[in-house]
Amino acid sequence: MKVKIYLTALLSSAVLFSCVSPKKLRESQAKYDQLSGTYLDLQSKYRALQDELNKANNKNAALQSAKTNTDGQVDDLKKQIDYLKQNNNTVLNQLRDMSVVTNAQAESIRKSLDNIGAKDMYIKDLQGSIARKDSLAMALVMNLKGAIGNLDDKDINIKVDKGVVYVDISDKLLFKNASYDVTERAKEVLGKVAKVLQNQPEIEFMVEGHTDSNPIHSAGIVDNWDLSVKRATSVVRILQNTYGLDPKRMTAAGRSEYLPLADNNTAGGRAANRRTRIVILPQLDQFFKLLETKK
C-alpha cells in the first residue's frame, strides 16, 4: 500500500514537472538572478551606510567632548570677566582719587618739569664749556711743546691734569745749586714759554717753587720755604721784566718740600722734587658767570 502511494506521488511530480515549460523556467531563473544582484547591492549599501553611521557617531562623540571643553572654558572666561569687572571698579575708584591729587598738583608738577628741562640745558652747557676748556688746554700744551722743542724730558715736563696745564722745569735747568739766581739757559727756556703765554692774554698762571727735604745752609736763605719763594719770584720777575708779561696775570708761590713728586730718601727722588712749576690756572670767572646766567 505504501509502495503504491510513493509511486503515485513520484508519478504526480513527474507529470507536474513535465507540465512547466522551459521558457518559464528561464524567466524564473533570470528573475532569481536579478533579485540576487539586487540583494548584493543592498547589502553593499547597508555596509556603506553602517560605516557612515559609525563615523557620524565618532564625530558626534568628538563634538560632545569639544562642547564639554568649550563649556568649561566659557565658565572660566565668565569668572575672569567677573574678576576684571571687580578690579575695574577698584581701579576706577583709584583713578578718581588720583585725578583729584593731579588736579591739585598739576601746576607744581609742570613747574618741576620746566625746572628739570632748564637744569638739563644748564648741565649740557656746562659740559660743552668743560669740553671747550679741555680742548683749549690740549691746544696750549701742544703749543708749549712746539715752542720749547726737544728738551730732555727730565729737564722739562708739560702735562694736563683735570683741565689744568702744568709746566715743570727742573732745578738744574733753572738755578745754580742752593741758589735762586736764574741761569742763562733757563732764561732762553722761559722766553719760549713767555712767547706762548703772550699769545693767550686772557690766561692767568702761577709760578710755584718746590724743593727737596734737605735743609738749606746758604747765606741769605732761611729755609726751604724761603728758597722756594725766592725761586718763584725770580722767575716771575724775568717773565715780567725781560719778556713783558702783565704782572696782573701772574702769582708767585713757594711750596717748599711739602708737595714732592718722588721719595726724598733717594738722590733721584730729591732731584725730581727740586723744580719750578708753572700752573696755567683755569678761568674760574667765566664759570662763575655761566653759573650766574643759568640759575
Helix (H, G, I), strand (E, B) or coil at 295: coil
Assess whether 66 and 205 both reside in one domain. no
Highest mean pLDDT among 101-110, 122-131, 143-152, 256-265: 256-265
Q: Is position 198 within any domain?
A: yes
Assess whether 54 and 158 both reside in one domain. no
Q: Is position 210 within any domain?
A: yes
Kindly state the percentage of the chain with pLDDT values over 90.
Answer: 26
Q: Is position 79 within any domain?
A: yes
Q: Is position 114 within any domain?
A: no
Highest mean pLDDT among 47-56, 83-92, 102-111, 262-271: 262-271
Assess whether 246 and 167 both reside in one domain. yes
pLDDT tens-digit readout, 11-67: 555 545 555 578 888 888 888 888 888 888 888 888 888 888 888 788 777 777 777
216 close to 223: Cβ distance less than 8 angstroms: yes
Assess whether 288 and 230 both reside in one domain. yes
- Which range is least confidently modeled, 36-45, 122-131, 254-263? 122-131
Q: Is position 112 within any domain?
A: no
Residue 89 structural domain: 1-96
Q: Is position 244 within any domain?
A: yes
- Report how many domains make up the chain: 2
Q: Which residue has the higher pLDDT, 83 or 138?
A: 83
Q: Return all residues near 147 (Cβ < 8 A) that are at least 6 apart.
A: 192, 193, 195, 196
- Which range is least confidently modeled, 119-123, 181-185, 273-277? 119-123
Say what the pLDDT of residue 18 is.
Answer: 52
Assess whether 151 and 278 both reside in one domain. yes
